[in-house]
Amino acid sequence: MAPLSHSPLSSLAGKRLLLGVSAGIAAYKSALIVRLLKQAGCEVRVVMTEGAQAFITPLTLQALSGEPVRTSLLDPEAEAGMGHIELARWADAIVIAPATADLIARLVHGMADDLLTTLCLASEAPRLIAPAMNQAMWRHPATQRNVKQLATDGWQLIGPAAGDQACGDVGPGRMSEPAEILEAVTQSFVTKNFASPVAASASAPHVVVTAGPTREALDPVRYLSNHSSGKMGYALAAEAAAQGARVTLISGPVNLPTPQGVERLNVETAVQMHEASLKLAPQAALFIGCAAVADYRAESAAEHKLKKTDDRDTLTLTLVKNPDIIADVAALPKGQRPFVVGFAAETQDIERYAQDKLARKGLDMIVANDVSQQGLGFGSDDNAALLLWRTPTHNEQLVAPPQPKTQLAALVIQHALKQLSLISSGA
């Protein structure tokens, strides 16, 4: 396995972080977020909504941050010199944790009816948000529309996680843990620092990505294929290049330009993609199988165009299995095997099928998405996914809500590089 040139995690020392706290039970975790940010060397200032003060006192967060906590847009002393504008300019990044459904809705509509929403509207800094609400509220179509719009507006969504909730329900909507929020903040600065593709150095990790569909010929004019546009795989390749990696993209037939800084290898069939993958994988540090590979191909393609006949209403085709590219890469011997990330497009029981595929194919990480959701997946610019990855003791997971594929790609690359870094360091 090729060595990793740099860790995706970088120091937050000296960064100025504005933490927004809204009115959710998860506000008690905001104290730990402040503590972790301070331990990382950040300057932290806290802004609370009126409702947040019912769950945790400003005095607690003031003691931990070492700075006065702002709670009102109409504070005569603080606003003597347009303090909210100065605070907006001060922040290197804004993080809201927890973010209620109400606050998310107000942000989407550009409301500026309290100090926190006004700061968000007045700031040009990167913005991260950690939703926290009841599972039914999170699943509501209005909330899903709002978080999708936030992502489109440039907000980075952190979580939410799934599990037991304070109300007794079980499901998605729990705020991500403080350590996960710290990691997301750190990663946001990594992404910012490597936002433009750079020329990869000789020591940069080699990342191989498969993308798009395959075409399996039935005759000279017909073939078996699927609806994959290749957008997700191309976004992954672009993001890996932006992180400084040396990237090879093995692409099926798509109508997309090659991302800057990426080497592209065009293939058509599953057998061709399999051959290219096994050739390149032993040279790679990270292999991402994002292509929608046809499961079957014709046992033998007809030499001439198949003709419709008047005496038969059916056509019988004999199909044979295509090679399992991702499983064969994962089965490579130690020393030749990269860190392997697979993708799973499912229409039901997403987590169960993803867990099964992760174990059955011997993958290190899997990204599963529900392609039955309208506006997500094949052909769309947006996606939502469940990330599952192995640790020495158990499997961990992260729910990624609907968001642009470019943003999801950044999340996948960051998590994959982090796990690769941990393996390389022996952690």
Tokens of 238: 């672009």
CB of 297 closer than 8 Å to CB of 349 = no
Q: Look up residue 283 and give its DSSP letter.
A: G
Of 214, 191, 398, the closest CA to residue 290 belongs to: 214
Kindly state the helix (H) or strand (E) to which residue 379 belongs, with its residue range.
Answer: none
Which tokens sit at 330? 């994962």
Query: Looking at this protein, which amino acid is placed at residue 413?
Result: I
Q: How far, in Å, CA of 301 to CA of 215, rounded?
A: 12
Contact by Cβ (8 Å): 63, 36: no
Strands (E), 256-334: 262-266, 286-289, 296-298, 319-321
> What phi and psi values does residue 391 have, to the nearest 5 degrees?
-125, 170
Residue 213 DSSP label: B
Q: Is 370 helix (H, G, I), strand (E, B) or coil?
A: strand
Q: What is the CB neighbour count within 10 angstroms for residue 72?
A: 14
Two structure tokens written together for 415: 């998590």
167 is catalytic: yes
**Which residues make Cβ contacts (< 8 Å) with residue 200, sequence separation at least 6?**
241, 244, 245, 246, 247, 261
List residues with catalytic annotation: 167
